[in-house]
A and B are shown apart, each in its own frame.
Chain A
Amino acid sequence: MENPLDKMMPEALKQPSQHTRRKFLFKVALLVNGAVGAVLAVPVLGYVLGPVFRKQNGENFWVPTGNLQQFPPGQTRLAQFRDPNGTPADGQTRNLPCWVRNIDGKRFQVFAINCAHMDCPVHWFPQSKLFLCPCHGGVYYQDGSVAAGPPPRGLYEYRYKIVGDQLMIWAGELPTLSTEARLRRPGNSPCLG
C-alpha cells in the first residue's frame, strides 16, 4: 500500500534512475570533493583538539607560591601563584590560590583550592581545623582527608620543593578527578589519561 506521505515526494525520486556518463562524472566529482574534505579535516581537527594533545609531560611547571616566612609552622595559610600556562589575556584568572600547610616547620602540604567534589573553592577555618566547601558541604580535615560530605577523595595536593626561601609547587592544570594525577608526578609520567 502506498504511504500517504509519499504523495509529497518529487516525481524524479520515484523513478528508478538511469546510468549516464554525466551522472558518473558527477559522482566522481563528489568523491573528489569528499577526499578534499577529508584532507582538510586533518588540520581542522588538529586545531580543535590541540588543547587535548599537548606536550607529553602535561602542562605543569614549578612555580613559586611564596616566601617560607609567609607560612608559620603549625598553620595553614592562603597563598597565590601565577598560572604557568597563562597569557596576558587571562587577566585576573592567571592568579591562582592554594592552601599551604606548614606541618612542623620542615614538612609542608600544599592543597589545591578546588574541592574534590565539584572544584568549588574550599575555605580554611583555623579554629576548628577544617576546610569547608560552600557549594555542596564538603568538609576536610587539616591534612586534606575527607571529614564529611560528598567529596569522593581528599583535597588535591600539589607536589612542592623548597628553593632558597621560596616554596615552589608543581602546578598549571585545573585539578579534577582525571587530571589530578599529573599534579603528583612531575616529568616522565607513563600515564597521562
Chain B
Amino acid sequence: MSGIKHKAYDVYRWFDRRLGLAKPITEAAEHPIPASSASWWYVFGSAATVILVLQVMTGILLALVYTPTARDAWNSLNFLNHGLTLGWFLRAMHGWGSDFMIAIVLIHMSQVFMFGAYKYPRELTWIIGVFLLLMTLGMAFTGQVLRFDQDAYWGLGIGASIMGRVPIIGGWLVHLVLGGPDIGATTVSRFFALHVFVIPGILIGLVGLHVWMVLRLGINEWPMPGRLVRKSTYVREYEAQIHKDGVPFVPDAAWKDATFAAAIMLAIIACALIFGPIGPTGPPDPTIIQTAPKPDVPFLWIFALFALLPPKLETPLILIAPVVAILVMLALPLYAGEGEKHWSRRPVAVLMLMVVAVSIGIFTRLGATAPWSPVMNGWSADPVQPQYLKGRTPLERQGALVFQNMQCRNCHALGGLGGQRGPDLDGVATRMTESQLIRQVLQGSGNMPAYGNSLSPSQTTALVKFLSTMEGYQPQAQNDANRLLAHGVSPPRDKSQDTAK
C-alpha cells in the first residue's frame, strides 16, 4: 500500500517540478484572513463563482444541441425539452442557475456595501464588481433572447425601441442591436455571439481580476463601530490584526463557503426538478399577436417603470438614469473610500439600500401582475355577474350588453373581474352623476379613450343607465339590513357607526 502511495507521490512530484503550481496554490488557499471574517456572511462571492462554473458547463452542453438561427432556435429548444434525454433538466439548470446567479450577485453586493468592504484599499475590487453585475445582467438579457420565443421576440422590440429613443444616433443603434433593419437571423446570431463568447470572456477575465485582488489585498475584516478606515494606517492595522488572530482561509473559512455553495447548488437542482425548464413560450412568429410579452424576472421592475413613469419623463429617465446609477456605483468607493465601515454608524447607507431593495421589490411585483395592462379577453371571458342584472330595466340590461361588447371590461372590473387599468365600476354611480358619466364615456379623459365615435346615442344612453345602477359593492350584512328595512323592521345599529358620529 505504501508502495502505491509512494509511486503516486513520485508522479505528483514529476508534474509539480515542471508546473510549479503547488506552492502558489497552497499559499493562496491558506492565505491568512481575520478570524472574524471566517463568517457565514462572507460566502456569497464564492457561491456566485460556483454558479458561474455551473452556467459555463451547462451552457456548453446546451450549445451542443441549440441552433442559433431565428428559423431553428425555437425548435431546437423544444427538441432539448422533449426529444433529448435529460435535455429538459440541463435547460432547467441553466435557466434557474441564471436566476440564482443574479440573486446571489445582488446579495453579495449588498453585503459588501453594508460591511463597507468597498473602502480603501479595495475600491477597484468594488468597481470591477460593478462591471461584473452589468455583465451578469447582460448574460440574463442575451440569454432571454436566445430562448427565442414570443417573449424574446417582443422583448427585442422593447430593447430596440429603447435604443430608438437615443437622440441622433438612435436609428444606428437600433440597427446595431438587431444586426440589421429588422428582427431576424442576424439578430439571433449576434446575441448568440454575445452570450457565448463576448460577455462570458469578459466575465471570466473580470472574475479572475476580482479574485486576484481579494487574495492580494486580503478579505475585508468584520467591521467594528468606531474603527475608522484611514489610508495612512489601514494596511498596517489590517496586517497587525492578521498577525494577532489570523486564520488560514482553507480550511477555517472555506468549509463555510463550500457548504453554502453546495446548498445553493442543491436549491438550483431542486428548482430545476420541481419547476422544470423556463419556456420556451409560443413560437417567435410575429404574426401571432395574441400575446402579452413580459421580460424575465430580473427585468420585470424595469418593465413596470415603463408603464408607471409619466410619459414626458420617460425618455430622459430611460436614457439618463441608468448612466447616472452606474456612475454613482462606480464613484462610491472613490467618494467614500475612508471612514466608518460599520452599518450602525452609516444610517444613510442602510436607508439607501433599503429604499433601493424595497423599490425594486415593489416594481418587480407590479411588473408580474401588470395591473396597467388591459385584459385583452376581459370583455369575452368575464360575464356580468347576475347581481348586476337582477331587478334592472330592459334598457339597463341593454347597457350591460353594451358594456361587454365595447370592451369596457378589458380595463374596468365588475365584482373583481376584469382589467385593472381603469377604476372598478361597482360603485361608479356613487361617484359620478348621469351627466358626468355621459361626458366621461363620450369624451374620455385622463387614461380613458373617448367613445364618442364608436357609440351610437342609444348605446350611450343604455350604457349610462346601466352604470347609474352601480351603487357599490354590497356586503351581505348590508343586504340583510336593506331587506329588514324593506320589511319594516329596524336593523341592528352598527357600533362603529355610532363611534364615528
Contacts and interface: CB of A to CB of B under 8 A. Distances in A.
Interface in A5-38: 5, 8
B449 A97 contact: no
B373 A137 contact: yes
Interface residues of A, number: 66
Q: Is the interface of A mostly helix, strand, loop or mixed?
A: loop
Given A5-B121, A173-B181, A178-B171, A93 B285 contact: yes
B154 A121 contact: yes
A56 interface: no
A80 B158 CA distance: 21
Contacts of A93: 70, 153, 182-185, 284-286
Nearest to A53: B172
Contacts of A49: 176
Interface string A112-151: 0110011111110101111011111101011000011111
B164 A114 contact: no
Given A97-B286, A119-B157, A123-B289, A132 B376 contact: yes
Contact of A135 (B181, B292, B408): B292
Contacts of A96: 182, 286-287
Interface string B159-198: 0111111101111111110111111111000000000000
Interface stretch (A83-91, A100-108, A160-168): A83-91
Interface string B211-244: 0000010000000000000001001100000000
B453 interface: yes
Contact of B185 (A89, A117, A148, A192): A89
A188 B41 CA distance: 63
A89 B309 CA distance: 38
Contact of B306 (A85, A117, A122, A128): A117
B472 interface: no
A5 B213 CA distance: 12
B158 A120 contact: yes
B286 A148 contact: no
B166 A134 contact: no
Interface residues of B, number: 76
Nearest to B449: A147
B181 A136 contact: no
A44 B235 CA distance: 45
B374 A134 contact: yes
Given A113-B286, A120-B158, A193-B169, A128 B71 contact: no
B307 interface: yes
Contacts of B10: none
A170 to B, nearest CB: 13
Interface of A: 1, 4-5, 8, 49, 51-52, 54, 58-60, 78, 80, 83, 85-97, 113-114, 117-123, 125, 127-130, 132-137, 139, 141-142, 147-152, 172-174, 176-179, 182, 192-193
18 contacts: A58-B181, A78-B287, A86-B184, A89-B70, A89-B185, A93-B185, A95-B285, A118-B161, A120-B154, A120-B293, A121-B154, A128-B451, A132-B407, A135-B292, A137-B372, A174-B178, A178-B166, A182-B171
